[in-house]
Amino acid sequence: MPAQIGYPEMGATTVGISCKDGVVLASEKRISYGFTIMSKAGKKVFLINGRIGVAFAGLISDAQAILRRLSAEVKLYELDYHMKMTVKSAAKLLSNILYSQRYYPAFAETIVGGVDEEGHRLFVLDQLGSLIEDKFAALGTGGALAISVIEQEYKDEMTVREGKDLVVKAVRAAISRDVASGDGVDVVVISKEGAKEEFFPVK
């Protein structure tokens, strides 16, 4: 069942799609505090390495703290074991980190996606570390708007090129109706050919 998680404090629109040849993650760039726009150049979707990416909705400070710790743990694992961490392992690691601080939870929801020897995987995590694998997901205050676009057009055999067009369309739809979202769409595409980041302005 498609995942769609969102709470009022999770200002953002963040989406992820698993395609037949990779995964696509996207988020808009607006950082808001209450009814005030703090920045129009925020970044909420990141590459951990060449094959794992994360996307966030929620407080940017908590998202950055999660990103720093997860990135460090993945790098330490690769140095210690001389092998790449799988996408599922990275998602499970983050789940354990979030659950371990459940009494002082991070105000952020996360999508972890990537490509490894097991294929392409997409996982959704809430504030307390609940872990769900799915084909697509939408988080944040604009998530309900974005998921309606994705559910209507998603196909199991979509390529990452088609998936990229769909996530951009979904985030733009949310931007047009959600005041906490706006100012362009950051996209990360991860496939067996590699990973790349792109930016799409709001039309």
Q: Residue ranges per domain, the chain?
A: 3-200
- Which region, left, alpha or beta, applies to residue 34 given φ > 0 means left and ψ of -120 to 50 means alpha? left
- Could you write out the three-class secondary structure of 44-61? CEEECCCCEEEEEEECHH
pLDDT at 7: 42
pLDDT for the residue numbered 4 = 41
Structure tokens at 66: 């999660």
Q: What is the pLDDT of residue 1?
A: 36
pLDDT at 10: 64
Q: Any idea which fold 3-200 has?
A: Glutamine Phosphoribosylpyrophosphate, subunit 1, domain 1 (3.60.20)
Q: What confidence score (pLDDT) does residue 198 get?
A: 96
Averages of pLDDT over each 10 residues, the chain, 203 residues: 44 93 96 81 93 94 94 95 95 96 93 94 96 96 95 95 97 91 94 94 85
Question: What residues act catalytically?
Answer: 13
CA distances from 26 to 45, 57, 113, 168 (A): 6, 11, 11, 7
pTM of model > 0.85 = yes
Residue (of 100, 135, 132, 14) closest to 63 by Cα position? 14
